[in-house]
Chain A
Amino acid sequence: MLAALIIVFREVFEAGLIVGIVLAVTSAVPHRLRWIGAGLFAGLVGACIVAAFAGTLTQLFEGMGQEVFNAAILSTAVIMLTWHNVWMARHGREMASELRTMGQAVAEGAKPLVALATVIAIAVLREGSEVALFLYGVAASDEGGGRALLGGGALGLLLGVAVCLATYLGLMRIPPRALFRTTTVLITLLSAGMAAQAVFFLARANWLTSFDQVIWDSSAVLPEKGLAGRTLKALIGYTDQPTAMQLAVYVGVIVATIALMRLTATPAPPRAVAAE
């Protein structure tokens, strides 16, 4: 039972962190739960499909199907998160500070909600497919104690949901103005981390093996598979043995996000310019 609890919690934990952040990011947007719910649902359905066809998926791309698939969905999430940040650079300030312009912003707000709902779906899909495979194996085996294992799984799921709520409530304690800045930084690092993980999967698939020398090894100090390591991995893409390519892409995504946000940001209102 404990093993099932740990396995399910570990997977749900990472998705929970991401859902918690998205809940906080969208706290000012009406009907957000509809979008987030749709993202969760799509992710769960996707997870079951991936789990059902896991064998087939593995055989694709000369046995590297899982790696390529992971790299592809992570890259999609990176694009969605960057799109969200760029959109928010244009409209977010109004949404966070001036309630009266919010109606207008929200009318256009469906766009980034599609992006964030996609990110949630991807997070749930990635973690959920492993849980689905594990629980299916448990349910299919005729060993005794299958029910206890499922109970452990349910408890793990509840704990994961608690992580999601704790993340959300923690972020909501930040005052609205600072919240916007905080979530922008969080989303940028989340996206850079996902890009670095995509590089990792491409390297494992032997699709991208350039600059694959390990830059540092911090596995003795902060192991990637420990609780702190896992948290940092889910949030900012921490890895204890990053390659040169991973670092380059990580920094590249951050720089590109900042550049795109600057380029598309709403020009400052005239009075602000006069004050300078």
Chain B
Amino acid sequence: MLVDVVRRVVVAGGGLGMLLLATQVQAGGPNEICLTYANGQFEPKEPTVPADAPLTIRVKNMEGKAIEFESETLKIEKVIAANSEAILNVRAMKSGRYEFYNDFNEKARGFVNVQ
């Protein structure tokens, strides 16, 4: 019984240890895309980036109301306040066409072409 409990605690501690020990691995020089949101549209609408490398997306919201920049396939989602800018980190992606949009105005859409 006691051994059982100890074993459980060790396993749980191990999980927590992994979490604590995880270091901040920074990938060298991620690719960056700069998007601007104005008049209910993103610009550029179809940026292209190389595949299999981490990516940073910088979104500048020029409008007087907040947007929520989102992409289901890129697994990102972030609220960007009125007249402000935000950065989103994307993990390395395989080549393909990944859609993004403003969740508060779904007419505003675009694609990231990963090649």
Interface positions of A (Cβ within 8 A of B): 3, 7, 54-55, 58-59, 63-64, 66, 129-130, 133-134, 136-138, 140-141, 199-200, 203-212, 219, 223-225, 241, 245, 248-249, 251-253, 255-256, 258-259, 262-263
User: Please, which residue of chain A has its CB at the minimum distance from the CB of B18?
Assistant: A248
Asked if A66 and B15 sit within 8 Å, CB to CB, the answer is no
Give 20 CB contacts A-B under 8 Å.
A7-B103, A55-B84, A58-B84, A129-B79, A133-B68, A137-B66, A140-B65, A203-B91, A204-B89, A205-B89, A208-B22, A209-B27, A210-B25, A212-B91, A245-B22, A252-B12, A252-B15, A252-B16, A259-B11, A262-B8
- Do the beta carbons of A63 and B87 come within 8 Å of each other? yes
Q: How many residue pairs, one in A and one in B, have C-beta atoms under 8 Å apart?
A: 110
In the complex, whether B76 has a CB less than 8 A from a CB of chain A is yes
What residues of B have a CB within 8 angstroms of the CB of A256 in the complex? 12, 15-16
Q: B interface, how many residues as a size bin?
A: 35 or more
A163 to B25, CA, bound (A): 41
B39 at the interface (CB under 8 A from A): no
B residues with CB within 8 A of A = 5, 8-9, 11-12, 14-16, 18-19, 22-27, 64-66, 68, 72-73, 75-76, 78-84, 86-89, 91, 103-104, 106
Distance in Å: Cβ of A118 to nearest Cβ of chain B: 21
Q: Is the CB of A133 within 8 A of B79?
A: yes
Query: CA of A58 to CA of B82 in the docked complex: distance in angstroms?
Result: 12
Which of chain A's residues have a CB closer than 8 A to the CB of B8? 255, 258-259, 262
Contact A141 B64 (CB under 8 A): yes
A residues near B24, Cβ cutoff 8 Å: 206-209
Contact A225 B12 (CB under 8 A): no
Query: Which of A55, A203, A225 is in CB contact (< 8 Å) with B81?
Result: A55
B75 nearest CB across to chain A (Å): 7
B12 → chain A closest CB, angstroms: 4
